[in-house]
Chain A
Amino acid sequence: MTLPVDTILVIVILTGFLILGTARLITAIRLSAIQGVCIGLLPVAASGGGTSVRVLLLGLAIVILKGVVFPRLLRRAIRESRTSGEMQPYVGITASVITGILALVAAFWLDARMDFLPDSHGLVAPTAFFTIITGLFLIVARKLAITQVIGYLILENGIYVFGLAIALEVPVIVELGVLLDMFVAVFVMGIAIFRINREFNHMDSDQLRNLKG
Chain B
Amino acid sequence: MNALRFLPLVSGLVLAPFLLGVVNRVKAKFGGRTGQPLLQAYFDLFKLLRKGAVYSRTTTWVFRAGPVVGLAAVLGALALLPAGRHAPAAVSFTGDLFLLAYFLGLVRFVTVLAALDTGSAFEGMGASREVQFSALAEPALLVALAALARLTGGLGLTQITSALGPASWEVAGPALALVALALCIVFLAENSRIPVDDPNTHLELTMIHEVMILDHSGPDLAFILYGAALKFWILGALIVNVAVSWIGGGAAITIPAFFAGMLLVSVGVGVVESVMARYRLLKVPRMLWVGVALSVLAFTLIGRFTA
Contacts and interface: CB of A to CB of B under 8 A. Distances in A.
A13 interface: yes
Given A3-B170, A10-B174, A94-B286, A105 B300 contact: yes
Name A's interface SS: helix
Interface string B272-307: 000000000000011001101110110011011101
B297 A13 contact: yes
A204 interface: no
Interface in B63-84: none
Nearest to A3: B173
Contact of A93 (B173, B286, B303): B286
B307 A6 contact: no
A26 interface: no
A141 B245 CA distance: 41
A10 B174 CA distance: 7
A167 to B, nearest CB: 21
Interface string B86-106: 000000000000000000000
Nearest to A13: B297
B178 interface: yes
A183 interface: no
Given A3-B170, A7-B174, A94-B285, A17 B290 contact: yes
A13 B304 CA distance: 15
Interface residues of B, number: 21
Contact of A123 (B178, B296, B301): B301
Contacts of B173: 3, 6-7
A10 B293 contact: no
Contacts of A93: 286
A21 B301 CA distance: 21
Contacts of A101: 289, 292-293, 296
A108 interface: yes
Nearest to B295: A101
B293 A100 contact: yes
Nearest to A100: B293
Nearest to B296: A101
B174 A21 contact: no
Contacts of A195: none
Contacts of B289: 21, 94, 97-98, 101
Contacts of B285: 94
Interface in A1-47: 3, 6-7, 10, 13-14, 17-18, 21
Given A10-B178, A121-B307, A122-B304, A104 B286 contact: no
A21 B304 contact: no
A86 to B, nearest CB: 13
Nearest to B171: A3
Contact of B290 (A6, A18, A126): A18
Nearest to A6: B174
A104 B293 contact: yes
B101 to A, nearest CB: 20
Interface in B147-171: 170
A55 B280 CA distance: 46
Interface of B: 170, 173-175, 177-178, 285-286, 289-290, 292-294, 296-297, 300-301, 303-305, 307
Interface of A: 3, 6-7, 10, 13-14, 17-18, 21, 93-94, 97-98, 100-101, 104-105, 108, 121-123, 126
* Interface pairs A-B: 4 shortest CB-CB: A10-B174, A97-B289, A101-B293, A7-B174
30 contacts: A3-B170, A3-B173, A3-B174, A6-B174, A7-B173, A10-B174, A10-B175, A10-B177, A10-B178, A10-B301, A13-B297, A14-B294, A14-B297, A17-B290, A21-B286, A21-B289, A21-B290, A94-B286, A97-B290, A97-B293, A100-B293, A101-B293, A104-B297, A105-B296, A108-B300, A108-B303, A121-B304, A122-B304, A126-B300, A126-B304
